[in-house]
């Protein structure tokens, strides 16, 4: 399985650039490293292989494919359900504040 992740550092550097230098353990799977995961539901439109994975990651996958997320070992979203925030309360507050914004415009 290690072979599947051997190029993560290069992919992260290509996508996020110097940001990765601030978090050197962000691209490794090992004891003590951050347990940050994103699980995606992705049905590739073209054949998918280890040779073209970076291109699927960069050009094919986006936030719409995210099914579950874990940060620092804690699930924040599972099966598209947010676990740490009250979506209904946030939506209601945003709707309330948006009216004031429209009134100012």
Strand ranges, E, within the chain? 37-40, 66-71, 74-78, 81-82
Q: Which helix (H) or strand (E) holds 2?
A: none
Class of domain 36-51+62-105: mainly beta
pLDDT at residue 65 is higher than 90? yes
CA distance 33 to 39: 18
Mean pLDDT of all residues in 58-72:
90
- For CA atoms 17, 24, 70, 55, the dihedral sign is positive
pLDDT at residue 54 is higher than 80? yes
Strand, coil or helix: 1: coil
Instruction: Enter the pTM of the model.
Output: 0.58
Mean pLDDT of all residues in 97-104:
92
User: How do residues 7-35 score in pLDDT, each as one tens digit?
Assistant: 666 776 777 666 666 655 555 666 777 67
Asked whether 50 and 25 are in contact (CB, 8 A), the reply is no
CA distance 33 to 29: 6
Give the pLDDT score at 1.
41
Extents of the domains making up the chain: 1-34, 36-51+62-105
Q: Give backbone dihedrals phi and psi of 76, rounded to 5 degrees, phi first.
A: -105, -30
Give the pLDDT score at 90.
95
Asked whether 88 and 55 are in contact (CB, 8 A), the reply is no
pLDDT at residue 5 is higher than 80? no
pLDDT at residue 69 is higher than 50? yes
């Amino acid at each position: 399985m290690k072979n599947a992740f051997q190029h993560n550092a290069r992919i992260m550097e290509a996508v996020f650039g110097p940001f990765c230098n601030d978090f050197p353990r962000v691209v490794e799977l090992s004891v003590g490293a951050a347990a940050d995961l994103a699980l995606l539901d992705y049905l590739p439109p073209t054949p998918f292989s280890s040779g073209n994975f970076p291109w699927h990651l960069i050009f094919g996958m986006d936030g719409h494919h995210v099914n579950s997320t874990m940060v620092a070992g804690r699930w924040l979203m599972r099966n598209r359900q947010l676990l740490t925030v009250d979506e209904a309360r946030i939506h209601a507050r945003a709707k309330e504040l948006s009216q004031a914004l429209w009134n100012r415009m």
